[in-house]
Chain A
Amino acid sequence: MTRHEKLSRREFVISAATATGGLLVGLTVPGYAAEFADQTWAADSADPREVNAWVAIEPDETVILRCPMAEMGQGTGSGLPMLLAEELECDWSKVKVEFSSVNRNIREHNIYGDQLTAGSRGIRTSWPYVQQAGASARARLIQAAAMKWNVPAKDCSAVQGKVVHKASGRSLSFGALVADAAKVKLAAEPAIKTPDQFKFAGTRQPRLDSPAKSDGSAKFGIDTREKGQLFASIMSCPVFGGKLVSVDDSAVKNRRGISHVVKLDDAVAVVADNYWRANEALKLLKPVWDGGAAAHTDSAQFNKAYRDALDGPLVTARNDGDARSVIAKSQHVVTAEYETPLLAHATMEPCNATVHLTKDRLDIWMGSQSALSNAEMAAEETGLKPEQIYFHQMYLGGGFGRRTFGDELRHAIRVAKAGNIDVPLQLLWSREQDMRADRYRPQSAIRLKGALSPDGKLEALYIQSVCGSIAMSTGRKVPDGIDGTALEGIGPSVPYNKVPNWYTGQMLKNTHVPVAYWRAVGGSQNCFYLESFIDELAHAAGRDPLEFRRSLTDRVDSVAVLNKLEQISGWGKPMPAGRGRGLSLVENHGAVGGQVAEVTIQANGAVKVDRIYAATDAYHVVNPNLVDAQIEGGAIFAMAAMMYGEITVKNGAVVQGNFNDYRMLRLPDAPDVVTALALTGGKDKDGKPKWGGVGECSVAPTAAAIANAIFAASGKRIRSLPLKNIRLTELASL
């Protein structure tokens, strides 16, 4: 699709929308046409159009902005360019965005940062250098114009893609200044704006990739088509850590299109000229595996082991006051045990990587949350130097934490190497491989105790947790037996600051099943636990759950979120029998979020979630439109896991393989999600503007809000997930 076609397409949308009532407030910028480049990745070398590595201006005044983070749906691909444009003072309608070059980042000493798109940090950790890049480019353009006019730079300013000298009325377009600007040496880099100075960032804008993602032209890793490309399908040993013993390939060698059967230590792959041919042949192979001792394990054993381990010994992870003795002396102690299973990421686009390995160069086409570290891994795998790796970043069909490790890339490289394949090779995990070779959300079990005073105050919390460790599973050290990811939501990162006695003890416990970051990470299970339990305590104390939470915190952000939720959800209004409203409040990945779920319990005990209200304090945001989208989607993502999500293990292998047995939430079951921001702005402890992330804070509150609503409607307490395993009609009321 040419730029011209896209432009007219966008203009058409605007006029059409206006004709039907003109509700597109954000789209009413005339000639609005900022977009992603058709080829998403930037060139690997500096070019003469550049002011600096982040900003290039075409002769026709098209402004190319480079985005260091991946775009996996979270919207940073639109948000970071908005921040750059805010500083640059360019004409947003002329902006085109590319992903910054990984190769250049390697050769030019991390000019684009770590290129790690995870932990809701797309904006929250990259704003300083992204803003600086824009400000520095602007200052150079201004300086270049000032030198041309022989006037002081301080008398010139940048406005909508031009430098203007107000006194004389002169102006020059950025395009006319770019060559000179690139040579400017500044005594000092300019200061960046503070959020209160923003004019553009913070406004509701359309996402740049909506057109390409609505007409099929957006290119994901799986869409790579290079000349002479071959396709591979692979199957890993079903038991993690197991080995391939042998495979008889005689049945498939002569099938049409098959070029290679490749044996790896722990996997077997078939290469063909069409993915379907490769995958059909793979299904015919009968590999012999050695799963070792792990082949005798199953979920029932794991579940018992996690529960049994609750009796200790645990490592103390948080200890305020003296929770143990307060509980021992209390007249009113509430105790509950909860547990949650392993979960798969199941990104909509199954993992894949396309590689072209030659003697002195490796090209990679894929969508990755961690392109830079993947490229470095590829260098190790191939023996090439990091600067010989050319990583072409594409759109990611979902990430959720899965696409950081490069497991699929490692497979592609190993197959190319072992098969001596020197043409482009696309290795695609079938859905079944993707489900069974994942690194899962850790399994965990927890025991919570709370002491209530006679007048219903929470005096102490005593938390015993047994949880899988992501750090250990990914080969990192856990000094003192503490892994921060396992503590999120029950240790330090909680929205409450007025619980006088708080103990959290934890045991890290892994099996042979690899575990990793799954959207909201520790909060995905711990916020369900704590927020369900806070609800139990509120009911035990005979207090309103919202008012009870208010008594536990006077943090500005938590209070703002609770107030906003109360207001938008109509909290406290009576509901008819069989319906209920539940609340939760969390801190996750640097933001505070709260949700209220409204549910209806049907006669057969089935739960229908009617609506979710979500209030979020991310302090400052770049694009409220995309923040809303993240929160809507996050709640639905979390609800899918709450209702259906469960990976089980049998004979050491994952049982589930596809969407028939790892179910997803579908449109008819999806609740309406009503979002609201409760931004309190402010500064962090270093005096810098505070920024939160919303990709995960939107996920963490949902399960508890729904479970608490179920309790409100039915008097039944959900203490294990997923809901599909629980027959509400058979569960005792509390």
Chain B
Amino acid sequence: MITLKVNGETHSLDIEKEMPLLWAIRTEIGLTGTKYGCGIAQCGACTVLVDGKAVRSCSLPVANAEGKEITTIEGLSHNGTLNKVQQAWIAEDVPQCGYCQSGQVMAATALLNRTPNPDESDIDAAMAGNICRCGTYVRIRRAIKRAAGKA
């Protein structure tokens, strides 16, 4: 049995310990906001927070996620209010197809948790692992600054 704590809820799952966290979240737990894009830690679509840090869930075996606080895109809002990154995303109309955006929002959230006042190079470093095929980078940058109160 694998025990995962996702968005504050505990799930006991009868799954292989080497199953990547991504597939446990998407298929076993049924939270589909976290996306599959590459499976090899190249694109960031699967980004979740593990103890507050941005992690590529496609490359993290569930055994290594046990006992940690896992947060997915579905767990970012509090009492129905979106977090400030999500609000900035909507205000700047960042998404196009939207498929990468859960991962982008998670990466940006981790950045702002760690560095509330990021400069350009902080943003570059934190977001370099997240591909957006639609090319929404201009607005991603703008939205992060807005969320940091720099808009």
Assembly CA distance A430 to B96 (angstroms): 22
Knowing A210-B89, A658-B40, A668-B128 are in contact, say whether A635-B95 is a contact too (CB < 8 A).
no
B contacts with A: majority SS: loop
A274 touches B28 (CB 8 A): yes
Which residues of chain A are within 8 angstroms of B72 by Cβ–Cβ distance?
216
B135 touches A667 (CB 8 A): no
Residue with the greatest number of chain A CB neighbours at <10 A, chosen from B45, B97, B125: B97
Which residues of chain B are within 8 angstroms of A214 by Cβ–Cβ distance?
82, 86, 89-90, 94-95, 101, 105
Assembly CA distance A5 to B74 (angstroms): 14
B38 touches A218 (CB 8 A): no
Could you say which of A8, A213, A632 contacts B135, with CB atoms under 8 Å apart? A632
**From residue B70, how far is it (CB to closest CB) to chain A in Å?**
14
Give the nearest-CB partner of B75 in chain A. Answer: A216
B23 touches A275 (CB 8 A): yes
Whether a CB of chain A sits under 8 angstroms from the CB of B52 is no
Assembly CA distance A225 to B35 (angstroms): 14
Knowing A207-B93, A256-B16, A633-B136 are in contact, say whether A667-B127 is a contact too (CB < 8 A).
yes
Contact flags B42-54 to A (C-beta < 8 A → 1, else 0)? 1101000000000
Residue with the greatest number of chain B CB neighbours at <10 A, chosen from A276, A349, A667: A667
Which residues of chain B are within 8 angstroms of A410 by Cβ–Cβ distance?
none
Assembly CA distance A211 to B98 (angstroms): 10
Which residues of chain A are within 8 angstroms of B15 by Cβ–Cβ distance?
274
Whether a CB of chain B sits under 8 angstroms from the CB of A16 is yes
Interface residues of B in 112-132 (CB under 8 A from A): 123-125, 127-132
Interface residues on A, range: 35 or more
Residue with the greatest number of chain A CB neighbours at <10 A, chosen from B22, B73, B135: B135
**From residue B86, how far is it (CB to closest CB) to chain A in Å?**
5
* Interchain Cβ contacts within 8 Å, total number: 210
Knowing A215-B76, A673-B138 are in contact, say whether A637-B133 is a contact too (CB < 8 A).
yes
Which residues of chain A are within 8 angstroms of B39 by Cβ–Cβ distance?
279, 430-431, 658
**From residue A723, how far is it (CB to closest CB) to chain B in Å?**
17
Assembly CA distance A660 to B38 (angstroms): 9
Which residues of chain A are within 8 angstroms of B45 by Cβ–Cβ distance?
348
Knowing A629-B139, A658-B42, A670-B137 are in contact, say whether A12-B87 is a contact too (CB < 8 A).
yes
B97 touches A666 (CB 8 A): no
Knowing A210-B89, A231-B27 are in contact, say whether A216-B74 is a contact too (CB < 8 A).
yes
A667 touches B28 (CB 8 A): no
Could you say which of A206, A348, A629 contacts B99, with CB atoms under 8 Å apart? A348
B38 touches A658 (CB 8 A): yes
Interface residues of B in 7-24 (CB under 8 A from A): 15-16, 19-20, 22-23
Assembly CA distance A216 to B141 (angstroms): 20
B124 touches A213 (CB 8 A): no
**From residue A702, how far is it (CB to closest CB) to chain B in Å?**
10
Contact flags B22-39 to A (C-beta < 8 A → 1, else 0)? 110011101111111111
**From residue A700, how far is it (CB to closest CB) to chain B in Å?**
14
Stretch at the interface among A44-52, A237-245, A395-403, A455-463: A395-403
Whether a CB of chain B sits under 8 angstroms from the CB of A636 is yes
B96 touches A670 (CB 8 A): no
Knowing A210-B93, A431-B37 are in contact, say whether A397-B98 is a contact too (CB < 8 A).
yes
Give the nearest-CB partner of B85 in chain A. Answer: A214
Residue with the greatest number of chain A CB neighbours at <10 A, chosen from B77, B93, B127, B141: B93
Assembly CA distance A632 to B93 (angstroms): 12
Give the nearest-CB partner of A346 in chain B. Answer: B133
Could you say which of A16, A74, A274 contacts B87, with CB atoms under 8 Å apart? A16
Whether a CB of chain A sits under 8 angstroms from the CB of B140 is yes
B140 touches A667 (CB 8 A): yes
Whether a CB of chain B sits under 8 angstroms from the CB of A625 is yes
B96 touches A659 (CB 8 A): no
Whether a CB of chain A sits under 8 angstroms from the CB of B5 is no
Knowing A9-B82, A231-B27 are in contact, say whether A23-B128 is a contact too (CB < 8 A).
no
Closest 6 CB pairs of A and B: A216-B33, A636-B135, A397-B99, A213-B98, A73-B96, A73-B97
Identify the B interface with A (CB < 8 A). 15-16, 19-20, 22-23, 26-28, 30-40, 42-43, 45, 72-74, 76-77, 80-82, 84, 86-87, 89-91, 93-102, 105, 123-125, 127-141, 146, 149, 151
12 interchain pairs, CB-CB under 8 A: A8-B80, A214-B90, A216-B34, A219-B32, A220-B35, A222-B35, A276-B20, A347-B133, A348-B43, A395-B98, A659-B40, A667-B140
Can you add 19 more A-B contacts, CB < 8 Å, to A216-B31, A220-B98? A73-B98, A75-B96, A209-B95, A215-B77, A231-B27, A274-B19, A274-B23, A274-B27, A275-B26, A349-B35, A350-B37, A398-B133, A431-B38, A633-B134, A633-B135, A640-B135, A659-B38, A664-B131, A667-B137
